[in-house]
Structures are given as structure tokens and as C-alpha cells.
Amino acid sequence: MLEIKNLHATVSGKEILKGIDLTIRPGEIHALMGQNGAGKSTLSNVLVGHPAYTVTEGSVTFNGKDLLALSPDERSHEGLFLSFQQPVEIPGVSMANFMRAALNAKRKYLGQEPLDASSFLKLMREKRKVVELDSKLANRSVNEGFSGGEKKRNEIYQMAILEPTMCILDETDSGLDVDALRIVAEGFNKLRTPETSAIVITHYQRLLDYIKPNFVHVLLGGRIVKSGGPELALEIEQRGFDWIKEEIES
Amino acid sequence: MKDISQYIELFRTERALLDSHSQALLNAHRDEAAEAFMRLGFPSRKVERYRYTDVAEAFAPNYGLKLDTPPAAMNLPEVAATRYGTLANVQNDAITALNTMLVQDVIVIYVPADQRREHPVQLTNTLRSSVPLMQNRRLLIIAEAGAEVQVLQTDKAEGGQDFLTTQVTEIFVGEGAHVEFYDMEDSHSRCHRFHQVYAQVAAGGHLTHTTFTLASGLSRNQADVRLVGQGADALLLGCAITDGQQHVDNNTLIEHIAPGCTSRELYKYVVDQQSSGAFAGRVLVRQEAEKTDSIERNANLVCTEQARMWTQPMLEIYADDVKCSHGSTVGQLNNDALFYMRQRGISEAEARMLLKQAFASEVLAAIPLEALRQRLHVLVEKRFRNCEDCKLCQKNNR
């Protein structure tokens, strides 16, 4: 469903991605690992169309469409979802208004009628249970005053409402204690369908204990330098990245 | 500087008609005002309080006066005569002088001591004309000791004609009285309005004064609030949403004269396209006004490179023991928030709209009158959504 070919991208004129090739089929979970600055977050930002990043070469096809030709909101409607590493606080915009605008934009794109207020509130109530979020949430401003854990749970909550087919979890485990990590990861697993694919960006094995990857890739200097099964993540957990660097250099 | 002769001429030729269609009280003040106006002339940008607005431009069209409508009541209550013109600064403010010279009608809202109006008084002004039209009106609100009243004034206009409105409002808040005055302008890009508010709050009295500019061409709102009795309290709120070539200037002066008074001031602007906004708020704490508690804040969202905002909070303190703060911010829409919303599928236009609405909502939330608060939420959203569809704006923007 997602096919990345020879992807090069720059930010502020500096080349960060130097030829990424990656194919993800429906239902597959791909873990993306690598040291800070390797290009993991750049890849996720490029995929969702962040305006600060410029694609200089290569192509990305999503569900047969040229992903790079779509606007960020169209990519979202097509089923692409990014769980932000640092979710943004938006004072004055309530969660309910935010999610209703997002969901109805998607429904319009898909040629569906907008959801009426009561059906929408019912949907919000149902989906809240997935990540055990507080009921007062609907009236609160988006992420404003949320704790680190609440922000990450709120990302998964938004995922539950929008039902994306391709999820990018960008360090969703960062800043979470063990209980919050479990709630977030289990929330994601509950939402998964056999068709849901994901790119899981993480530094640690502990998230992959919950969200089990089919493939693990190591990103270094803007390229995928090593790919393997779940055992590769375990090996990195024990040995770090230096042995992979040495392997490439030799 | 705009030549005043056009307006002096208008006054001389129409004097008889003006007098015959107005109350004696209004007529009695015309000559003194004309003298002051001739002495002052139109304020240039060198006059401190008018430095952000080009007055001449607003007065340039050849406006006519509609003089054939008699006022609703020829006989004003006795109390009006003792208060009319006693707060308005005819000698030093040219627009106040011009208004007093040409004034066509006055509305008096009088609430006797300890009386309470259960429902708000609503005044709706709708401008409609086939030729450029000027109107000069007065509002006099008197709340005696312990009285309570809420007044809502809305300005609307129909048709794409040039309109010029001058208004002078005098508000007397008696001891322990409670007055809420809501001024809302929702007109169009060829409406020019100058509104001078003069208010005086006695001991233990409360005044809420709010100015909402949803749509207009040029608006200049001036509010002078004097806290003259111990424990008097004032809340000033303002919100301006501007686009096209619109210009909104709010100029306030809160004077703490008696000790132990409180003032709160919050003005927010969303300035879009080529429009401009100005806010100048002076808080003056006199020597006797110990234990003054005053907070003044102005926050502005400037949405384009071409939009302009001038902000000037001023604090002048002559007392020793006071708690005062003032501040202002000018910023743009938060790009991180915009992108976050777009990732969730919200279009850029909708995301911008939601952020602007969120910015304005802080002022709306502070409005004491609940029904108006809810109504304004709807009107503000409508304003942000409709502005691209509004034929009048489009005509003047291109």
C-alpha cells in the first residue's frame, strides 16, 4: 500500500534523506530505529507533507496514488496518520470542535454526509474508552494543559476516531511511564484491523514488546542500512548501533 | 488636514432645520460646540489621541444630513438637562464638538435609584440611503444609586453607500449602580464611525463597556472612563475583526481618581489582508487613588504581511500603593498548530478560521451577558467564514 522509492529530502537546504527505499503492505508493522539525527522524524514529516521539508528526488505511492502530489489534509483523508512526537497545544479550540472538523472533512472527501452532533458525541464517548481518557476531555482545548501521557493517549484517541489505514507512531513511547505506555500501545492494538499498517519509530524495545513488528529497519545517515525481523530490534537493544556502522564500513 | 468649512457651512445653512427637529436641550449647546470645532479643526495625526487614524479621509465624501424626521420625543426628562454635555469634552475633542454642533437626536436611558431593568435595552441602528449620508447621534445613560441596566447597541448598514456616523455617549453610573454597555458594529466597508464614550463611575459602582467591531470601513472608538468614587470598578472589553482596507482604532483612557478602584481592560484584534488596527490604552492613576488595582492587556493576531497593527498601552501612576500591569502582544497564526490540524484532515482555510476564532474567544468568554456571549460566538464564526463570500468586501478589495 505504501511504496517509497529513492526518496531524497532536504530541510533548510540540508539533505537529510539520501535515498530511502521502503515498501509496506497492508497489515504490516515496520519498526524504524536509528540514532538521533539519522532521519527518522524527517521521513515521517515528509510522508505527511510538512511544509518545512522539500523532496528533491524519488517517489512515494500510497494506495496507487502519488502521495507527494497531495496536500497534508488530502493525505490524511487517504488514511495516513501521524502520532506526533510532540503533540501541539491549541488553546481555544476544543477537542470536540477539532475532531468534528477533522472527521467531517474526511467524510466530505469520501463523499459522505457530515455526522450530526449527537452521533458525533456518541462516537467520541465510545472511542474514549479505547485509551481510558477523561470524559471532561471534549470540552478542553486540544492538548492544553495535558500531561505528557495524556497527550500521547490523545493521539491514539484521534486515531480511533479517524480510523486511518497507515499509522506513523513517532516516538510515541517517549516520556511515558510503564502504565501509560501499556495503555497507549494496547489502545493502538485494539484499533488495528488486519489491513492497518504502521511505521513505528522508537529507540527502545519496550514499545515493540506490545506492538510487534514484522520488520525492523535501521536508518543511518539518511538511508536504510540494515533490515531484518523482530530479532534485529532485540540485538540493537543489547549491542547498540556501533556494530552496524562497523559492518557497513567494512 | 481636512478643511472644516464644508461642515461649518452645513451647520449654518441647516441650523434652522436642525433646531426645529431637535430638542431645546440639544439646540442650547450648538453654538458653544461650533466655536470649539472652529478653533480645534479636524484632528491631524499630530494630535496624540488621533495619531493612528486619518480623520480627513473619513470626512472627505460630500455627506448629506437627513433632517426631516422629528425625534421620538420632544420633551426630555428633567434629569437629562442636568447631565447632558457635562462629561463630553467639547472644548478639547474635535469630533465631540462636531457631534454636539450637528447632533440630530438623543436617546436617554434613565434608571431611577434602586430600580433594576430585568431585560437588556437594545438599540438597533440601521443605515439605509441612496446618497452619502452623515448622522450625528447622542446617547445618555443615567443609572442612579443602586440601579442596574444593560444596554446593547448594534450598528448595521444596508446598501453600498458611504456613511458617516458620529456618536457621543455619556454614561453616569451612580453609587453602587451597575451598568453594562455593549456596542456592536456589524456594518460594511464604506461605513465610517466615530464613537466617543464618556463615563463616570461613583463609589461602589460598576461599568462594563464592550466594543465589538465585526465589520466596518473605518471605526474609531474612544472611551474615557473616570472612576470617581471609592471602590468603583470598570471592565473594558474589545474585539475587532478586520480585513480588506478596514481600519479600527480603539483609544481608551481610564482615570483612577478615587482610592480602591479596580479596572480591567482586554482588547483583541484579528487583522487580516491589508487592513489595519490600532489600540492605545492609557491608565492614569491620580495621587489620591491609593490601592488602585488595574490590569490592561491588548493581544493581536496579524494574519498577513500587509496587515498592520499599532499598539500602545500606557500606564501613568502618581499614587504610591497600587497594583497595576499593562502589556501587549502582536503575533501570527501558530504554524505548528496549523500543520497539526492539517495532518488531521482539516483544510488550511478551516484551520486558520478555527485558530482565529479561538483567539477571539477569550474576549467573548469575558462578556457578562450570557445571551450575547453565545450570539457573538455564532456571529464571529459567521464573520470568519463569510468574509470571502461578502460581495461588498470583494468589491473593495480588488
A120 shares contact with chain B (CB less than 8 Å): no
Q: Is residue A107 part of a domain?
A: no
| pLDDT confidence bin for A122, thresholds 50/70/90 | very high
pTM score, whole prediction: 0.88
Q: A-chain residues within 8 Å CB-CB of B348?
A: 71, 73
CATH number at residue A41: 3.40.50.300
Q: Is residue A127 part of a domain?
A: no
Mean confidence (pLDDT) of chain B = 93
- For residue B69, pLDDT over 90 is answered with no
CB contact under 8 A, B344 and A158: yes
Q: Is residue A235 part of a domain?
A: yes
Quote the pLDDT of residue A180.
87
- DSSP secondary structure code for residue B229 in this structure: S
Residue with C-alpha cell 499599532?
B310
User: What total of structural domains would you count in chain A?
Assistant: 1
> If you average pLDDT over residues A210-230, what whole number do you get?
94
| pLDDT confidence bin for A133, thresholds 50/70/90 | confident
Quote the pLDDT of residue B390.
46
- For residue A117, pLDDT over 50 is answered with yes
Dist. CA B373–CA A1, nearest whole Å = 49
Q: What is the pLDDT of residues B205-227, one digit of tens each?
A: 999 999 999 999 999 999 999 99
Across B90-94, B133-137, B158-162, least confident range: B158-162
| pLDDT confidence bin for B309, thresholds 50/70/90 | very high
Quote the pLDDT of residue A168.
97
Q: What percent of chain A has pLDDT over 90?
A: 76
- For residue B391, pLDDT over 70 is answered with no
Quote the pLDDT of residue B66.
85
- For residue A137, pLDDT over 80 is answered with no
Q: Is residue A128 part of a domain?
A: no
B318 shares contact with chain A (CB less than 8 Å): no
Q: What is the ipTM of this complex?
A: 0.96
> If you average pLDDT over residues A195-218, what whole number do you get?
93
Q: What is the pLDDT of residues A170-180, one digit of tens each?
A: 999 888 888 88
Alpha-carbon distance B217 to nearest alpha carbon in chain A (angstroms): 28
- For residue B2, pLDDT over 60 is answered with no
CB contact under 8 A, A102 and B354: no
- For residue B177, pLDDT over 80 is answered with yes
Mean confidence (pLDDT) of chain A = 93
Could you tell me how many CB contacts below 8 A there are between chain A and chain B?
77
